[in-house]
Structure 1
Amino acid sequence: MRRGESKTTRGANRSSPSSWKSSYIGYGLVVGFVLMLLFLMVSSQFSNSTNVYFGRPATISKTDSVPSARHQEDHAGQEGGSREMEGHYREKEKVARTHTEQSTGQHQEKKVESEQQRAEKNPIEEQLGNERNSDKWEERHQPEKKDRIEFSEFGGGTDDFNNVANTKPICDTSFGKYDICVLDGDARAQGGAVPTLTLVSPRAPRREWKIKPYSRKYLDGLKAVTVKSVPNPDVVDAPQCTTRLNVPAMVIELGGLTGNYWHDFTDVLIPLFIGARRFGGEVQLLVVNLLPFWVDKYKRIFSQISRYEIVDLEKDHGVVRCYPHLVVGYGSRKEFTIDPSIDDTGVGYTMVNFTEFLRHSYSLPRDRPIKRTNHQRPRMMILERTNSRKFMNLPEVVAAAEAVGFEVTVAGRPRASYDEFVREVNSFDVMLGVHGAGLTNCVFLPTGAVLVQIVPYGRLENIAKTDFGDPARDMGLRYIEYGIAADESSLLEALGKDHPIIKDPIAVHMSDWGKVAEWYLGKQDVRVNIERFRPVLMQALEHLH
Structure 2
Amino acid sequence: MRRGESRGTRGANRSLSSSWKSSYIGYGLVVGFVLVLLYLMVTTQFSNSPTAYLAGPATISKTKQIPAATHQENHAGREDGSREMEERYREEVARTHTEPSKGQRQEEKVESEQLREERNPIEEQLGNETNSGNWEDTHQPEKKGTIEFSEFGGGTDDFNNVANTKPICDTSFGKYDICVLDGDARAQGGAAATVTLVSPRAAPREWKIKPYSRKYLDGLKAVTVKSVPNPEDAPQCTTQLNVPAMVIELGGLTGNYWHDFTDVLIPLFIGARRFSGEVQLLVVNLLPFWVHKYRKIFSQISRHEIIDLDKDHGVVRCYPHVVVGYGSRKEFTIDPSLDDTGGGYTMVNFTEFLRHSYSLPRDRPIKLISQGTGGAAGLTRPRMMILERTNSRKLMNLPEVVTAAEAAGFEVTVAGRPRASYDEFAREVNSFDVMLGVHGAGLTNCVFLPTGAVLVQIVPYGRLENIAQTDFGDPARDMGLRYIEYGIAAEESSLMDVFGKDHPMIKDPIAVHMSGWGNVAEWYLGKQDVRVNIDRFRPILIQVLEHLR
- TM-score, normalising length from structure 2? 0.74
Q: Answer yes or no: is the 8 Å Cα contact 1:187–1:198 preserved in 2.
A: yes
Residue 60 to residue 187, structure 1, CA distance change in 2 (3 Å): closer
Secondary structure of the equivalent of 2:412? strand
What is the deviation of 1:91?
12
Does 2:472 correspond to 1:474?
no
Distance 1:210 1:335, change over 3 A: same
Which one of the candidate residues 129, 147, 150 is aligned to 1:149? 147
Aligned-residue offset at 1:376: 1.5
Q: Partner amino acid for 1:503?
A: K
Q: Which letter does structure 2 place at the counterpart of 1:216? A: R
SS in 2 for 1:498: coil
SS of the residue aligned with 1:327? strand
- Please say if 1:248 is aligned against 2:244: yes
Structure 1 residues 200 and 96 mapped into 2: Cα distance closer, same or farther (>3 Å)? closer
Partner of residue 391 from structure 2, selected from 378, 387, 405:
387
Pair 1:96–1:340, CA change in 2 (3 A): closer
Q: CA deviation at 1:148?
A: 3.0
* Paired residues for 1:243-392 under 5 Å: 243-374=239-370, 375-392=379-396
Distance in 2 (CA, whole Å) between partners of 1:487 and 1:148 is 57
Contact kept in structure 2, 1:178 and 1:329, CA below 8 Å: yes
- CA deviation map 1:349-383 (0-9, x unaligned): 10000000000000000010010134411000000
Matched AA of 1:297: K
Given that 1:180 and 1:328 are in contact with CA atoms closer than 8 Å, whether structure 2 keeps it comes out as yes
SS state at 1:307 partner: coil
Q: 2:320 & 2:415 partners in 1: Cα distance?
A: 47
Residue 453 and residue 150 in structure 1: after superposition, are their counterparts in 2 closer, same or farther (change >3 A)? Answer: farther
The corresponding residue for 2:183 is 185
2:460 to 432, 439, 456: 456
What is aligned with 1:67? Answer: none
Q: Give the Cα separation in 2 of the matches to 1:157 and 1:354.
A: 34
Amino acid aligned to 2:478: D
What does the per-residue CA deviation read over 1:406-427, in whole Å, with 9 as the maximum and x for residues that have no partner? 1000000000000000000000
1:93 to 97, 100, 103: 103
8 A Cα contact 2:155 2:200, kept in partner: no
Q: Is the Cα contact below 8 Å between 1:148 and 1:347 reproduced in 2?
A: no
Say what the alpha-carbon RMSD is for the aligned residues: 3.3
Q: Specify whether residues 347 and 535 from structure 1 end up closer, same or farther in structure 2 by C-alpha distance, changes over 3 A only.
A: same
Residue 439 (structure 1) aligns with = 443
Q: Distance in 2 between matches of 1:75 and 1:368?
A: 32
Distance 2:403 2:156 in 1: 63
Decide whether the 8 Å contact of 1:383 with 1:438 is kept in 2. Answer: yes
Kindly state the Cα deviation for residue 147 of structure 1 after the two structures are TM-superposed: 3.0
Rounded Cα–Cα distance in structure 1 between residues aligned with 2:463 and 2:360: 37
Give, in whole Å, the separation in 2 of the partners of 1:196 and 1:308: 21
Distance 1:362 1:91, change over 3 A: farther
Larger mean CA deviation between 88-97 and 302-311 belongs to 88-97
* Map of 1:199 onto structure 2: 197
- Tell me the amino acid that sits aligned with residue 455 of structure 2: L
Question: 1:348 corresponds to which letter in structure 2?
Answer: G
Distance, in Å, in 2 between the alignment partners of 1:320 and 1:59 is: 37
Partner Cα separation in structure 2 for residue 232 and residue 63 of structure 1: 22
Task: State the shift of 1:472 in Å.
Answer: 0.2
Corresponding residue of 1:163: 161
In structure 1, C-alpha distance between the alignment counterparts of 2:213 and 2:105, rounded to whole Å: 43
User: Structure 2: how far apart are the matches of 1:150 and 1:394?
Assistant: 56
- Aligned letter for 2:403? A
Kept in 1, the 8 Å contact 2:228–2:234? The answer is: yes
1:515 equivalent in structure 2: 519
Residue 162 (structure 1) shift: 3.0
SS at match of 2:527: coil
Aligned to 1:15: none
User: 2 CA distance for matches of 1:165 and 1:192?
Assistant: 33
Tell me if the contact between 1:388 and 1:521 (Cα under 8 Å) persists in the aligned partners: yes
Conserved? CA contact 1:380–1:406, under 8 Å: yes
Distance in 2 of aligned mates of 1:383 and 1:157? 54
Residue 400 of structure 1 is matched in structure 2 by 404
- CA offsets per residue over residues 136-170 of structure 1, 9 Å max, x none? xxxxxxxx986333789xxx977754321121111
In structure 2, the residue matched to 1:498 is 502
Q: Is the 8 A contact 2:70 2:147 kept in 1?
A: no
Q: Which is bigger in relative contact order (C-alpha 8 A, separation at least 6)? A: 2
CA contact (8 A) 1:246 1:324 kept: yes
Q: CA deviation at 1:187?
A: 0.4
Change (3 A) 1:394 1:160: farther
What SS does the aligned partner of 1:285 have? strand
Alignment correspondent of 1:217 = 215
Q: Hey, what does 1:425 align to over in structure 2?
A: 429
Shift of 1:194: 1.4
Change in CA separation of 1:150 and 1:428 when aligned onto 2, cut-off 3 Å: farther
1:438 is paired with a residue of what secondary structure? helix
Instruction: Answer with 164-173 or 520-529: which moved more.
Output: 164-173
- Unaligned stretches of 5+ in structure 1? 1-46, 53-57, 65-70, 98-143
* Residues 222/94 of structure 1: CA separation in 2 closer, same or farther (3 Å cut): closer
Cα separation, 1, equivalents of 2:147 and 2:189: 27
Answer with 366-375 or 317-326: which moved more.
366-375
Deviations 1:16-42 (CA, angstroms, capped at 9, x unpaired): xxxxxxxxxxxxxxxxxxxxxxxxxxx
* TM-aligned CA deviation for residue 80 of structure 1: 5.5
Displacement of 1:494: 1.2
Q: Deviations over 1:245-293 (max 9, x none)?
A: 0000000000000000000000000000000000000000000000000
Aligned equivalent of 2:173, options 172, 175, 179: 175
Whether the aligned pair in 2 keeps the contact of 1:283 and 1:306 (CA below 8 Å) is yes
**Structure 1 residues 320 and 304, CA, compared in 2 at 3 Å: closer, same or farther?**
same
CA distance in 2, matches of 1:379, 1:75: 43
- Show CA shifts across 1:185-218 (max 9, x none): 0000101011111111111010011110000000
- CA apart distance, 1:492: 0.2
The one-letter amino acid paired with 2:543 is: Q
Q: Does 1:484 align with 2:482?
A: no
TM-score for both structures, normalised by structure 1: 0.75
Q: Distance in 1 between matches of 2:482 and 2:56?
A: 54
Secondary structure of 1:333's match?
coil
CA contact (8 A) 1:158 1:184 kept: no
- Aligned-partner residue type, residue 489 of structure 1: S
